[in-house]
A and B are shown apart, each in its own frame.
Chain A
Amino acid sequence: MLAYLIRRLFAAAVMLVVIVVVVFCIFFLVPRWAGVDIASSFVGKQADPAAVAAVREKLGLGDPIHVQVWEFFRGVFAGRTYAAGGEVTHCAAPCFGYSFRSEQAVWPVLTDRLPVTLGLALGAAVLWVVVGVAAGVLSALKRGSLWDRGAMVVALAGVSLPIYFTGLLSLAVFAFGLDWLDAQYVPLEQSFTGWLGGMILPWVTLAFLYAAMYARITRATMLEVLGEDYIRTARAKGLREHTVVGKHAMRSTMTPLLTMLGMDLGALIGGAILTESTFNLPGLGRAVLDATRNQDLPVVLGVTLITSLAVLLANLAVDVLYAVIDPRVRLA
Chain B
Amino acid sequence: MSEPMTDTDRPILETRSLAKRFSIGTRFSAEGRRTVHAVDNVSLSVRRGETVGLVGESGCGKSTLARCLVRLYDITDGKLLFEGDDITSKSLSELRPLRRRLQMVFQDPSASLNPRRRVGDLVAEPLRIHGKLSAREITARVAELFELVGLLPDHVMRYPHEFSGGQRQRVGIARAIALNPDLVVLDEPVSALDVSVQAQIVNLLADLQEKLKLTYIFIAHDLSVVRQVSTRIAVMYLGSIAEEGPAEEVFATPAHPYSQALISAVPVVETTPAGARKRIILTGDVPSPLKPPSGCRFHPRCPIAAERCRSERPELKEYRPGRKAACHFPTLT
Q: Please say whether chains A and B are actual partners in one complex.
A: no
User: What is B's interface to A at a CB cutoff of 8 Å?
Assistant: none
